[in-house]
Amino acid sequence: MRINTNIAALNSYNQLKNTQSNLSKSLSRLSSGKRINGAADDAAGLAISEKMKSQINGLGQAQRNAQDGISMIQTAEGALKESHSILQRMRELAVQSANDTNTKADREEIQKEVDQLAQELTRIGESTEFNTQKLLDGTLDSTKFQIGANEGQNMEISINDMQAEALGVAGAEGVQTEVTSSNLTAVASDEGGAGADGGEIFGAFGSSSSSTTHDNAPTTVTAGQLGEEISITDGTNTIDAKYALYNENNEVLAVSEDGQTYTALESATAEDSLTTSTGLLESAANTLSQFDFGADTTVTSGEVTMNFTETSTGADTLSLTAEAGTVAFDSSENTLASGEYTVVGSAHPSVTNFGLVDSNDELVALSSDGQDWNDMFGNDLFDIATAGDALIADDTISIASSGGLDVSSQEAANNAISTLDTAIKDVSAERSKLGAVQNRLDHTINNLNTAEENLTAAESRISDVDMAKEMMNMSKQQILSQAGTAMMAQANQLPQGVLQLLG
């Protein structure tokens, strides 16, 4: 018999420790409801469970995505429903106008309603949005709905332009409010030297050849037309100033005859103080300090950005950058048909000064100054609203229609009926397409819901605990724990039997 090492007690202790560990796991599972509370509980099961969870979450989000897609489609289809109603009314009016029992005055009243309906059709196309995305203006192209949990599981949808012009029910004559000149961006730079060193253009711009004197120079100036043309001379050269560059105090810094070549003034001068003898800056004797914004580029309006830099020789360079500007039409006089047009110069074989070609490169208008435009028969076509502004070569313009189909005569109204039939057919086709996509998404949601349900059940079998089974296991561990404790107490009593040998 040994008393230093109680083997029976050690064995009882190990068994009790294992029992306590198992009991702790059972309590953890029962309190959390999860079979896997840590990677050690089931390493492989944990990896599989987490992968399934990502799929389950993705399927749930895909269902919400599909529902959002349905909402978008319903928004577009609802707007097209109203467009259908408008087209039906326009067709009804066209049929009415095609009847020769109507007088000219009657048809004029019918035309007014047709024009308003066409404008509303365009407004619906321009303003119908879902989550700030325009739906019916033709920009919703190849839009993707993510309807699966994994990469590439998506579908595309496109909605055609449903505005009056795209449907062919806008009038032939349009009103243009703005034209963007595409070639007003250029840079002019020159070095400022002392005295007759040549190239000095600073003067009124607030700088000289010293790099410290332009710190307070303006960063932007504004191009514009002088209130009245004035001739300015330096005794040798004369500038018939029509345009100017102004600083923030509305003082003139440079003047130009044509908006292309500018001559700097010796100092900033208020416009009402300009006189014939206002000092023109000279870069050398009798040589004006001039600059332009590139060949055939006119700058007569808009902001011009200024930038001074110091060259390696210590002289300063002034850079002027004119941003693209806009020219406004006199909409009351515009009779140009809707469409896209490009301005051409004298390089065109049939043009002396300026011409306008349509998208088919056909010449449709001529102008001597880029301001007043006539058709090919010399009739007034449109004018530029702001005096001094003009279109120049390579400018592009877009004319948008403002009215509706012409129903002002029996023949025109009769033709409008056929056009409206086509438009109604186009809207019907678009609504039908959207309805089909909506039905498809309904089935997509049902399928995703089934997949999510089944995958959730599979993941549950891996990660969730069977409560009844685990309670049974906990009861077993509790009994073993009690038995182990009792047996350990008995094992601790065994060495005391040695004392009886002493008696």
Do 17 and 82 have their domain in common? Answer: no
Do 94 and 108 have their domain in common? Answer: yes
Do 190 and 321 have their domain in common? Answer: yes
Do 430 and 320 have their domain in common? Answer: no
In angstroms, rounded to a whole number, what is the distance separating the alpha carbons of residues 337 and 329? 14
Calculate the CA dihedral of residues 105, 106, 109, 114 and round it to 10 degrees.
Answer: -130
Residues sharing a CB contact under 8 Å with residue 440, sequence separation 6 or more, in sequence order? 155
pLDDT tens, position by position, for the chain (503 residues)? 677 888 888 888 898 999 988 888 888 888 888 888 888 888 999 999 999 999 999 999 999 999 999 999 999 999 999 999 999 999 999 999 999 999 989 998 998 899 899 989 999 999 999 999 999 999 999 899 999 999 999 999 999 999 988 898 886 544 343 444 443 333 334 444 333 333 455 667 765 444 444 444 557 888 888 888 888 888 788 889 988 888 888 888 889 888 778 888 888 888 888 888 888 877 666 677 777 765 556 677 777 777 666 555 555 566 666 655 455 554 444 556 667 788 898 889 999 989 999 888 899 889 888 878 888 888 877 776 555 566 777 777 766 555 678 888 898 899 999 999 999 999 999 999 999 999 999 999 999 999 999 999 999 999 888 888 888 988 998 998 899 889 888 888 888 777 777 76
Instruction: Give the structural domain span for 385.
Output: 331-399
Label residues 112-133 b or e (16+ Cβ within 10 Å = b).
Answer: eebbebbbebbebbeebebeee
Residue 459 lies in a domain: no
In angstroms, rounded to a whole number, what is the distance separating the alpha carbons of residues 226 and 245? 9
Residue 149 lies in a domain: yes
Residue 489 lies in a domain: yes
Residue 483 lies in a domain: yes
Domain count, the chain: 4
Do 75 and 153 have their domain in common? Answer: yes
Residue 28 lies in a domain: yes
Instruction: Supply 10's token pair.
Output: 């050690």
Do 307 and 337 have their domain in common? Answer: no
Do 294 and 216 have their domain in common? Answer: yes
In angstroms, rounded to a whole number, what is the distance separating the alpha carbons of residues 221 and 205? 9
- Do residues 265 and 254 make contact, with C-beta atoms less than 8 angstroms apart? yes
Residue 40 lies in a domain: no
Residue 212: HSE in the Cβ half-sphere, 13 Å Cα cutoff: 0
Residue 81 lies in a domain: yes
Do 15 and 123 have their domain in common? Answer: no
pTM, two decimals, is 0.54
In angstroms, rounded to a whole number, what is the distance separating the alpha carbons of residues 368 and 227? 22
Which strand (E) or helix (H) includes residue 268?
strand 261-270
- Do residues 62 and 146 make contact, with C-beta atoms less than 8 angstroms apart? yes
Instruction: Supply 465's token pair.
Output: 């605990």
Do 307 and 336 have their domain in common? Answer: no
234: left (phi over 0), alpha (psi -120 to 50) or beta: alpha
Do 343 and 322 have their domain in common? Answer: no
Return the bridge partners of 165, or none.
none
Do 192 and 130 have their domain in common? Answer: no
Residue 181 lies in a domain: no
In angstroms, rounded to a whole number, what is the distance separating the alpha carbons of residues 211 and 253? 20
Q: Which amino acid does the sequence have at 69?
A: G
In angstroms, rounded to a whole number, what is the distance separating the alpha carbons of residues 183 and 202? 25
